[in-house]
Amino acid sequence: MLEETQIIVDGSPMKLLVATPQGSERRPGILLSHYQHGLGPFTRRNAERLASEGFIVVAPDHYHHTPGESDLTKRKLGLIDTRLIADMMAATSYLRAHPRTIPHLTAIMGHCMGGRQALLGAAMIPGFRCAIDCYGGGVLKALGPGPTVFERLSSITCPVAGFFGVDDTNPPPADVRQIEAELIRLGIETSFHIYPNTGHAFMDPDQKRYVETSSNDAWIKILDFLRRHLAYN
**Domains identified in the chain, total number:** 1
Question: Given this model, what pLDDT does residue 158 score?
Answer: 98
Neighbours of 33 (CB within 10 A): 28
Cα–Cα dist 157/188, whole Å: 7
* Whole-prediction pTM: 0.97
pLDDT above 90: percentage of residues in the chain = 94
Question: Given this model, what pLDDT does residue 233 score?
Answer: 56
For residue range 82-101, list pLDDT tens digits in order. Answer: 999 999 999 999 999 999 99
Please name which of 171, 128, 126 lies closest in space to residue 150, comparing C-alpha atoms.
Answer: 171
Question: Given this model, what pLDDT does residue 142 score?
Answer: 97
* Residues of the domain holding 51: 2-229
Question: Given this model, what pLDDT does residue 102 score?
Answer: 98
Cα–Cα dist 145/30, whole Å: 28
Question: Given this model, what pLDDT does residue 68 score?
Answer: 86
Question: Given this model, what pLDDT does residue 70 score?
Answer: 87
Question: Given this model, what pLDDT does residue 54 score?
Answer: 97
* pLDDT, block means (10 residues), the chain with 233 residues: 96 97 97 96 98 98 92 91 98 98 98 98 98 98 97 98 98 98 98 98 97 98 98 73
- For residue 124, the one-letter residue type is M
Question: Given this model, what pLDDT does residue 44 score?
Answer: 98
For residue range 102-128, list pLDDT tens digits in order. Answer: 999 999 999 999 999 999 999 999 999
Exposed / middle / buried, residue 70 (Cβ in 10 Å: 0-12, 13-18, 19+): exposed
Contact (Cβ atoms closer than 8 angstroms) between residue 136 and residue 117: yes
CATH code of the domain in which 158 resides? 3.40.50.1820
Exposed / middle / buried, residue 157 (Cβ in 10 Å: 0-12, 13-18, 19+): middle
